């Protein structure tokens, strides 16, 4: 038996007076003997294992008050049982509870097996040549002190492997396959989006170059801006490259970088939260949209970059901004390189997407700006195509007026 079980047996039978200390060992009647420094399977709240000496001293002095008990442990140089462990330990040793969470059952089984296999139970009335204690081990070491002894090999010879390197990684009632699958899917989705963005960028540039060669879309240093109320007003120069459409990054608006591609390319409105969930929260920094439908089927497809971080734009990038979907809040235009809303919407065409049955108050601020209000239905998705086509027509009209000014 292991020392903790033997101590519990003697405590429940109230045979503590039969536990005697002989040298460096504790003798439990005529049946068992263990070294005093043997670690038991009872683990303290701090994580360390209590020695047999600490448990025997505690259970024999349970009648002492806490202060007296602590003085006794110091006087006898015995490890003390901490206050949080005192009552649970006493309940276990006296049999009030059958088991305890503080018991290391793996060590308990190991000690029982070792006791049966290596250490025969000490019996004074029998031959004890098979009994091995720490004191005997020390004597053995002294005997070989004059010889060249490999102490590491001596220690390893007494070790028993409990688990292999592979077995220690096994966790019962745990399945990590789903974690691996989910992480792999997330990485594949991220790589797919990055690849799609790179491909869209190349297609956009090639389509734009083809459109310029056909004289359909012109972006050059001699082009000018556009003012819907005053076409003859002074315009800014337009930078070369793929034109940019800005969308809000906030979810309070109907159109964001998550769902703008489906709306402008396919003519279908998908709510932001639905699309964000489909994309598993992976938010692209920039996407490319192309006009894939038109009343004029012979028109060349024109590509646009869509972004939602104006603060990341360089001065040359601002020269390529042609449109913005507005949120209807002034803070959306904070730190923009324009002095006011009048200048913004003279140089950039604005769109405000709303549900047709929303209150007028939602568009009260927007109506004061030079912005095109586009209305869609909350439920009739077949009407989205007409709304998207209206955006394209206004945008193309704006671009043509700038390129021909």
Q: Please answer whether residues 269 and 275 qualify as being in contact, where contact means their C-beta atoms are separated by less than 8 angstroms.
A: no
- Cα gap 6→335, rounded to integer Å: 79
pTM of the model: 0.43
What tokens appear for 261 in the block?
């591609």
What value does the CA radius of gyration of the chain take, rounded to a whole number of Å? 41
For the chain, the structural domain boundaries read 3-117, 244-404
Mean pLDDT across the chain: 77
Written out in words, the top-level CATH class of the domain with range 244-404 is alpha beta
CA distance 157 to 144: 16
pLDDT at position 397 over 70: yes
Output 365 or 109, whichever has higher pLDDT: 365
Q: Which residues contact 338 (CB under 8 A, 6 or more apart)?
A: 344, 347
Segment 62-98, tens digit of pLDDT? 899 988 999 999 998 999 999 889 999 999 999 998 8
Is the predicted pLDDT of residue 390 greater than 90, yes or no?
yes
pLDDT digits (tens, 9 = 90+) for 259-289: 999 999 889 999 988 888 888 878 888 889 9
């Amino acid at each position: 038996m292991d020392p903790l079980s033997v101590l519990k047996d003697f405590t429940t039978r109230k045979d503590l007076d039969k536990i005697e200390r002989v040298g460096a060992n504790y003798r439990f009647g005529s049946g068992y003997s263990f070294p005093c420094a043997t670690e038991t399977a009872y683990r303290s709240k701090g994580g360390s294992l209590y020695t047999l000496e600490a448990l025997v001293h505690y259970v024999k002095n349970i009648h002492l008050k806490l202060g007296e008990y602590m003085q006794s442990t110091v006087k006898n140089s015995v490890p003390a049982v901490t206050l949080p462990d005192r009552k649970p330990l006493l309940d276990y040793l006296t049999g009030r509870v059958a088991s305890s969470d503080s018991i290391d059952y793996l060590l308990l089984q190991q000690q029982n097996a070792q006791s049966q296999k290596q250490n025969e139970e000490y019996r004074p009335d029998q031959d004890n040549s098979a009994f091995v204690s720490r004191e005997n081990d020390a004597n053995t070491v002294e005997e070989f002190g004059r010889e060249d002894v490999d102490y590491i090999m001596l220690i390893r010879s007494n070790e028993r492997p409990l688990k292999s390197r592979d077995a220690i990684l096994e966790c019962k009632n745990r399945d990590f396959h789903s974690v691996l699958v989910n992480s792999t899917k997330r990485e594949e989705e991220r790589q797919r989006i990055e690849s799609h963005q790179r491909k869209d960028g190349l297609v956009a540039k090639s389509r734009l170059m083809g459109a310029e060669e056909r004289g359909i879309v012109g972006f050059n240093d001699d082009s000018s801006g556009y003012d819907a109320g005053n076409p003859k007003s002074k315009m800014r120069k337009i930078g070369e490259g793929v034109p940019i459409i800005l969308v809000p990054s906030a979810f309070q608006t109907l159109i964001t970088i998550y769902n703008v591609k489906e709306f402008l390319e396919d003519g279908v409105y998908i709510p932001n939260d639905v699309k964000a969930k489909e994309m598993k929260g992976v938010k692209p920094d920039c996407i490319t949209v192309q006009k894939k439908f038109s009343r004029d089927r012979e028109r060349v497809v024109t590509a646009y970059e869509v972004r939602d971080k104006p603060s990341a734009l360089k001065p040359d990038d601002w020269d390529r901004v042609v449109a913005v979907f507005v949120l209807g809040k002034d803070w959306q235009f904070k730190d923009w390189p324009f002095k006011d809303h009048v200048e913004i919407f003279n140089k950039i065409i604005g769109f405000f997407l709303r549900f047709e049955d929303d209150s007028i108050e939602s568009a009260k601020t927007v109506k004061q700006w030079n912005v095109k209000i586009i209305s869609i239905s909350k439920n009739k998705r077949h009407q989205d195509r007409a709304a998207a086509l209206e955006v394209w027509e206004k945008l193309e009209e704006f671009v043509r007026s700038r390129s021909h000014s």
